[in-house]
Amino acid sequence: MGTRSKTPSFITEVPLIVDSKQEAELLSRFQGGRQLYNAVLNEAMVRMELARNSELYKGAKKIPRGEKKKRNDAFNEVRKHYRYSEYDLQAYATTVANKSKWIAQKVDSNTQQKLASRAFKASERVLFGQAKKVRYKVPSRFRSMEGKSNKTGIRWKDNCLVWGNLKLRAMIDPSNPVIQHGLASPIKYARVLWRDLNGKRRWYCQLVNEGMPYQKPQNYVFDGLIGLDLNISNIAYVGDDHADLLPFAEGVPTFLYEIAALQRQMQRSQRVNNPDNFEPDFEARKGRKIVVNKGKVKKNSRKWNKSNNYKRLATKKRELQRRKAAYAKNQNRRIVNEILRHGKHIKTENVSVKGWQKRYGKAIAAKSPGFVQSELKRKAEIAGGSFTKFSTQKTALSQTHLNGERIKKPLSQRVHVDKLTGDAMQRDFFSGFLARFVNQDELSCKDAARQYPRSKSILFGAWRRQRINCEKSRQARNPVPDSRQSSSQRRRKRLAR
């Protein structure tokens, strides 16, 4: 098994020009790659289960973690005995492709090995407890294939994607500095993928480049210290000379009314075309009225007839959801760049976004605080900074005062009145300020109290701006109703927002 490259990488994506004949050839190659991946993944899971349930593996687990070399050698012996390694699965993939013949004709040897590595890593996630199961690919979910290098197989040559006898031209914008930087950088390997945009399949090439990505002049990174307070819908940061509260996915269209209307139409279509999959309607009392409620879906209903109208509505709904997610990701990346302009050494609480998902599922899906957190970590470390997490239980920033006293307060109480200074401060800003003085899960209240007089004007200025922005946002959400509009039109506007 070869060693993984340690050099930094970035991705340059360019759209491809694909005609109907080339698309048919690409789809046949993807079909061969998908079947090979599923076959190797199944074999990887069989070998992994045999290795995990063996006495050799159980004996290796009993070796103390302090004896690192002995423990690793024991696990390697188990893998070798059951031929559960990346190299063995690559050899298995070659055997399967050669026996089927048509797969070997469609998928080159380098791509076969990369598919085997992909399947091996998926099975390893289950072995290490990082995933509960693997997913075998259906045609609609197998969307990318890549090579091992830019020398053979899938490769980028003369501003075209070359894959055997296929040569796909790319749409390159000569005025785009990001694309030009990627094309001028060394290429490790190339990846071909497709996306479903507005019901149509679009093909792209991703170049995995060696080096650092292009940095726009406005997205500079400052060498300062940042304290963060991450919430469900916003993030507060306090730097050396600036503080602010930034909402996640601000101005993103929710398409609430449009998606709800499409879901109702899809539900009606399903009930008409699949009457046997639903329980009969029943009458129920709602206040003084008797209404007819629709029957629920029967259990174990697997056979569904989907009309062309249903598929058209599903495509529309998928496109709206894709646009909503793309807008949210774009806005959240702006937040990351704004924070890094004031510091690249970041300290924040180790909050559980997965825990939030159980209680605030829809809000987390719309705002994506976990994406902002991971992007901040990635970009800060690339820029030579740091991203430090500390325990929420040991520090309890929202309860702590500058004199070291801890007083619990409900989540609805958004103003913190400090016991030492007597100043009232917005809760998130004060937590972000205290985060700057946490080292190894210990908060230094003395350092925070010493620095507070110099940071007081920054904190109060940020709180004042935040209140002004909240007032503007409230007025925008609740304008004076237009007497010329009907109640249904006003209701539709509210739902769309």
- What is the C-alpha to C-alpha distance for residues 417 and 424, in angstroms, rounded to an integer? 4
Q: Which two tokens stand for residue 111?
A: 């791509």
- Report the residue count for the chain: 497
Beta strands in 198-250 (DSSP E): 200-210, 225-230, 234-238, 243-247
- What is the C-alpha to C-alpha distance for residues 106 and 495, in angstroms, rounded to an integer? 50
| CA quadruple 334, 336, 340, 346: dihedral, nearest 10 | 170
Q: Please report the pLDDT score of residue 299 as a whole number.
A: 87
Q: Is 382 exposed, middle or buried (0-12, 13-18, 19+ CB in 10 A)?
A: middle
| CA quadruple 297, 302, 303, 307: dihedral, nearest 10 | 60
In our burial notation (b when 16+ CB lie closer than 10 A, e otherwise), range 466-475 reads beeeeeeeee
Element housing 496 (H / E): helix 487-496
- Of 3-17, 310-324, 328-342, 449-463, give the lowest mean pLDDT range: 3-17
Residue that wins the pLDDT comparison between 18 and 302: 18
Q: Which two tokens stand for residue 433?
A: 């300020």
Angle at 199 between CA 196 and CA 200, to 5 degrees: 65
Q: Please report the pLDDT score of residue 220 as a whole number.
A: 86
Q: Please report the pLDDT score of residue 1 as a whole number.
A: 45
Domain ranges of the chain: 9-210, 225-253+317-477
Q: Which two tokens stand for residue 98?
A: 């050669």
Contact 78, 57 (CB under 8 A): yes
Q: How many CA atoms lie within 13 A of 129 on its CB side?
A: 0
pLDDT at residue 333 tops 70 = yes
Q: Please report the pLDDT score of residue 486 as a whole number.
A: 60
pLDDT at residue 258 tops 60 = yes
- What is the C-alpha to C-alpha distance for residues 35 and 141, in angstroms, rounded to an integer? 12
Residue that wins the pLDDT comparison between 291 and 109: 109
Q: How many CA atoms lie within 13 A of 158 on its CB side?
A: 5
Helix (H, G, I), strand (E, B), or coil: what is residue 85?
coil
Contact 235, 198 (CB under 8 A): no
- What is the C-alpha to C-alpha distance for residues 406 and 400, in angstroms, rounded to an integer? 4
In our burial notation (b when 16+ CB lie closer than 10 A, e otherwise), range 165-186 reads eeebebeeeeeeeebebbbebe
- What is the C-alpha to C-alpha distance for residues 82 and 120, in angstroms, rounded to an integer? 14
**β-pair type (424-426, 289-293):** unpaired
139-181 pLDDT, tens digit each: 999 999 999 999 999 999 999 999 999 999 999 999 999 999 9
Sign of CA dihedral 27, 28, 31, 33: negative
- Per cent of the chain over pLDDT 90 is 67
Instruction: Output the pTM of the full model.
Output: 0.82
- What is the C-alpha to C-alpha distance for residues 114 and 121, in angstroms, rounded to an integer? 11
Average pLDDT, the chain: 90
Rounded to an integer, the average pLDDT of 90-97 is 96
400-437 pLDDT, tens digit each: 999 988 988 888 888 999 888 888 999 999 999 999 99
209-248 pLDDT, tens digit each: 999 999 888 888 888 999 999 998 899 999 999 999 999 8
- Least Cα distance to 146 among 11, 319, 260 occurs for 11
108-144 pLDDT, tens digit each: 999 999 999 999 999 999 999 999 999 999 999 999 9
pLDDT at residue 487 tops 70 = no
User: What DSSP character marks residue 29?
Assistant: H
Task: Please give the full DSSP string across 397-410, using - where no structure is assigned.
Answer: TTTB-TTS-B----
26-80 pLDDT, tens digit each: 999 999 999 999 999 999 999 999 999 999 999 999 999 899 999 999 999 999 9
